[in-house]
Amino acid sequence: MTLLAVAVGGRGLVDPDEPVLRADDEALLRGRAAFETVRVYGRRPYRLAEHLERLAQSAERIGLPAANVLELSELATQAVEAADIEDSVLRLFWTPGNGEGAPTSLALVSELPTHYDALRERGQRLIALRGIRAEEPWLLPGVKSTSYAVNIAAEAEAKRRGADDAVFVDREGVVLEGPTTNIWWRRDRTLFTPALELGILAGVTRAAVLELAGGLGYEVVEGTFPLGELAGADEAFTSSSIREVMPVTKLDERPLGRGPAADELQAALRAEATRG
């Protein structure tokens, strides 16, 4: 990741090579911080208000001081301006510090990964891995905290097995989400995606796809589905801020067909995000 700009609460823009957190920050000691990853299109962070709202909810559920969303929004603007490129990745963090001093707001802007358009052409291979269904409040359902080691380890395991990414299923085989994506599939003109009640993250891109699907003539059903439903779909895709809508062409050893929905939704998402 090439950092282009960093802005810190109370300090503004700082040199990206400069350290910005205390050594005893809870974010480091215990992974107790809230974060967001936002796609910037044409120097505008897409659905920033939704990301900030989710960050505020994450902070509350982790038990952090209330997030200063105004400050984070200002830092986001400063960092995006300073990065001085059209399309980028904006990361926002709200860390509690050591619990005695003030929390820290951070906005980081980095270059977009370059390989996602090629992956969209080829389609992703996913493997199903056991994940935790976060049904209890202390399992932090729907929270985007910096405790992402498990998610990244699942992605690494998928790669070790020759796939691009994982999709989590619970011990009953119910489909949940990917380590950093929401999952979708289509049968005829109906799109299916796991319900938020399963403790998955309420993806900002998921919400955008839900809105855009109707205009493209798709019905959407959110629910509790076994993996067989995904495996037997006409097509499947994932949604996330940086990878956007990404087709799935293989699940475990089973090929999945390419279809129109992923391409139509990707085009609709881009159109909405880049509209002036």
Judged by DSSP in three states, 8 sits in strand
Least distance in Å: CB of 19 to ligand PLP? Answer: 25
Answer for which of 90, 108, 128, 201 binds ligand PLP (CB under 6 A) is 201
Residue 193 near ligand PLP by CB under 6 A: no
Residue 177 near ligand PLP by CB under 6 A: yes
* Binding track over 118-137 against ligand PLP, x by CB under 6 A: --------------------
Answer for which of 48, 240, 246, 248 binds ligand PLP (CB under 6 A) is 240
**Total residues in contact with ligand PLP, by rule CB under 6 A:** 13
Supply the angle between the helices 48-62 and 204-215 in degrees, to the nearest 10: 140
Judged by DSSP in three states, 14 sits in strand
Answer for which of 143, 239, 245, 265 binds ligand PLP (CB under 6 A) is 239
Half-sphere exposure of 265 (CA within 13 A, CB side): 33
Least distance in Å: CB of 148 to ligand PLP? Answer: 7
Sole window of 7-15, 113-121, 173-181, 225-233 interacting with ligand PLP (rule: CB under 6 A): 173-181
What residues contact 87, with CB distance under 8 A and at least 6 apart? 39, 40, 41, 42, 112
- Measured CA to CA, the distance from residue 76 to residue 134 in angstroms comes to 30
Q: Which is nearer to ligand PLP, 46 or 218 (CB)?
A: 46
Answer for which of 145, 182, 193, 266 binds ligand PLP (CB under 6 A) is 182
Residue 204 near ligand PLP by CB under 6 A: yes
Residue 181, H or E segment: none
Q: What is the DSSP track for 214-249?
A: HHTT-EEEEE--BHHHHHT-SEEEEEETTTEEEEEE
Give which of 211, 257, 206 is closest to 234, Cα–Cα.
Answer: 257
Sole window of 6-14, 97-105, 202-210, 261-269 interacting with ligand PLP (rule: CB under 6 A): 202-210
Q: What angle do CA 222, 241, 175 make, to 5 degrees?
A: 35
- Measured CA to CA, the distance from residue 196 to residue 221 in angstroms comes to 12
Residue 244 near ligand PLP by CB under 6 A: no
Residue 58 near ligand PLP by CB under 6 A: no
Least distance in Å: CB of 17 to ligand PLP? Answer: 26
Residues that bind ligand PLP (CB under 6 A): 37, 177, 180-182, 201, 203-206, 239-241
